[in-house]
């Protein structure tokens, strides 16, 4: 049953990959009035419909025509896990049976959706559970949008608090799925979509310098975070193989370019590992690297993945970092890694 459905999905276009103009042409080809395209588009991106059947102000005859010509492949919640800190982790099932993760992260001041951009990941960061998986494929823009839409609904249903922030920090490297990530953000921020504010969105990258430069050229309005985790090339090479082709000097120049083009300060994410990057020298190297552009630093407590390679740093070592950063002009904060 599932395999026959998958073949059908592959043989007909995904309705959520159509532009409004393309959708309008399809509706005209059906012999329908032009306002029907606006209704359908509204259901797809503003009301986050999960099926054609939910479009109850669209005639059944038109819904049947749409279902015959177009695929509709929303993601579904396969399972969820709730933590004592009120965090909810979701396993999302895609139309081709792959699983990805998303997280609702409540804090005192915000409700944040953490979403994935790929099935698996190709970067093999040594401290990351996803890095141990192969990259299977990129997520489509609608699959990223669906994660936000579902978590947004859950934020209201479970906590009665609106979703306030979105971070692209789940499975995968967002800048290796550039077009779909930006298309998803357009849908999420558009007045015809979810209408969320771009400055409430943060895209996190392991450090693809040429794509950071492209973000600057595109003058994006959302925030950028760099997963740094070591501020010298020798250590960063050991934990993040991507650094061999995107070293700190190259990243520094790309980040300066990004800031010059967008005026948006960068966030540096820095997981502090026990007996690896937890010394005063490491903190000083981080502070020196952070001077290149206006920034914020997130010190992250490591959530071990069970392979015994890395452990979280002692609290007294973290205090060394926080004490040093209090003297700097940039801001810093300390948080626990989610996911």
Are residues 60 and 126 located together in one domain of the fold? Answer: no
Are residues 204 and 327 located together in one domain of the fold? Answer: yes
Are residues 95 and 63 located together in one domain of the fold? Answer: no
CA 286 to chain centre: 24
Are residues 85 and 110 located together in one domain of the fold? Answer: yes
pLDDT averaged over the chain? 91
**Residue 2 or residue 135, greater confidence:** 135
Give yes or no for a contact between 157 and 215, defined as CB atoms under 8 angstroms apart.
no
Q: Which of 8-17, 35-44, 192-201 has the lowest mean pLDDT?
A: 8-17
In the prediction, which pLDDT does 5 show? 41
Name the pTM for this structure.
0.91
Per-residue pLDDT of 24-67, as tens digits, reads 999 999 999 999 999 999 999 999 999 999 999 999 999 999 99
Are residues 62 and 145 located together in one domain of the fold? Answer: no
Contacts of 53 (CB under 8 A, 6+ apart): 63
Count how many domains the chain has. Answer: 2
Are residues 215 and 244 located together in one domain of the fold? Answer: yes
As a whole number of angstroms, the distance between CA 74 and CA 268 comes to: 33
Sign of CA dihedral 146, 152, 158, 164: positive
Could you say which of 69, 103, 123 is where a domain stops?
69
Are residues 202 and 61 located together in one domain of the fold? Answer: no
Domain, as residue range, for 26: 2-69
Q: Which residue has the tokens 């990223």?
A: 144
The DSSP element (H or E) to which 298 belongs, if any, is strand 295-301
The CATH code of the domain that includes 237 is: 3.20.20.70
Are residues 15 and 99 located together in one domain of the fold? Answer: no
As a whole number of angstroms, the distance between CA 178 and CA 338 comes to: 23
- Across residues 97-120, what is the average pLDDT? 96
Per-residue pLDDT of 278-316, as tens digits, reads 999 999 999 999 999 999 999 988 887 777 688 988 989
Six-digit token pair at 223?
């925030």
In the prediction, which pLDDT does 134 show? 79
Distances (CA, A) of 125 to 122, 219, 240, 250: 9, 28, 5, 19
Are residues 22 and 126 located together in one domain of the fold? Answer: no
Per-residue pLDDT of 244-279, as tens digits, reads 999 999 999 999 999 999 999 999 999 999 999 999
Sign of CA dihedral 236, 238, 242, 245: positive
- Across residues 205-209, what is the average pLDDT? 97
Entry field: residues in the chain: 339
As a whole number of angstroms, the distance between CA 257 and CA 98 comes to: 37
Query: For residue 92, with 0-12 CB atoms within 10 Å meaning exposed, 13-18 middle and 19 or more buried, which class applies?
Result: buried
Q: Report the 10 Å Cβ neighbour count for 326.
A: 9
Are residues 226 and 128 located together in one domain of the fold? Answer: yes
The CATH code of the domain that includes 59 is: 1.10.150.530
As a whole number of angstroms, the distance between CA 99 and CA 214 comes to: 30
- Structure confidence at residue 338 as a pLDDT band (50, 70, 90): very low
Are residues 279 and 315 located together in one domain of the fold? Answer: yes
Q: Is the pLDDT of residue 327 over 80?
A: no
In the prediction, which pLDDT does 74 show? 97
Give yes or no for a contact between 200 and 164, defined as CB atoms under 8 angstroms apart.
yes
Are residues 49 and 133 located together in one domain of the fold? Answer: no
Could you say which of 52, 69, 86 is where a domain stops?
69
Could you say which of 69, 95, 112 is where a domain stops?
69
Please report the DSSP string for 73-109 in residue order. ---EEEEEEE-TTS-EEEEEEPTTS-EEEEEEEE-SS
């Amino acid at each position: 049953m599932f395999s026959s459905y998958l073949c059908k999905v592959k043989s007909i276009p995904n309705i959520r990959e159509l532009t409004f103009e393309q959708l309008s042409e399809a509706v005209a080809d059906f012999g329908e009035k032009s306002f029907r395209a606006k209704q359908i588009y509204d259901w797809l991106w503003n009301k986050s419909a999960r099926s054609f059947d939910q479009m109850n102000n669209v005639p059944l005859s038109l819904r049947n025509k749409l279902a015959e010509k177009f695929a509709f492949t929303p993601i579904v919640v396969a399972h969820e896990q709730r933590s004592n800190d009120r965090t909810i982790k979701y396993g999302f099932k895609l139309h081709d049976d792959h699983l990805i993760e998303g997280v609702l992260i409540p804090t005192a001041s915000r409700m944040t959706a953490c979403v994935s951009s790929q099935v698996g990941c190709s970067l093999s960061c040594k401290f990351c559970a996803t890095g141990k998986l192969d990259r299977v494929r990129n997520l489509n823009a609608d699959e990223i949008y669906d994660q936000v839409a579902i978590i947004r609904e859950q934020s209201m249903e479970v906590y009665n608090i609106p979703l306030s922030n979105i971070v692209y920090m789940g499975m995968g490297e967002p800048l290796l799925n550039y077009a779909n990530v930006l298309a998803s953000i357009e849908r999420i921020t558009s007045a015809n979509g979810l209408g969320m504010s771009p400055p409430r969105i943060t895209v996190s990258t392991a450090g693809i310098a040429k794509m950071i430069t492209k973000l600057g050229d595109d003058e994006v309005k959302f925030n950028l975070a760099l997963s740094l985790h070591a501020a010298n090339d020798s250590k960063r090479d050991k934990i993040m193989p991507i650094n061999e082709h995107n070293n700190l000097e190259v990243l520094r120049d790309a980040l300066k370019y990004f800031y010059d083009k967008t005026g948006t300060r960068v966030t540096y994410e820095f997981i502090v590992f026990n007996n690896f990057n937890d010394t005063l020298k490491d903190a000083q190297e981080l502070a020196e690297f952070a001077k290149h552009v206006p920034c914020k630093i997130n010190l992250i407590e490591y959530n071990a993945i069970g392979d015994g390679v890395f452990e979280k740093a002692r609290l007294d070592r973290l205090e060394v970092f926080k004490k040093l950063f209090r003297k700097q002009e940039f801001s810093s904060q300390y948080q626990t890694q989610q996911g």
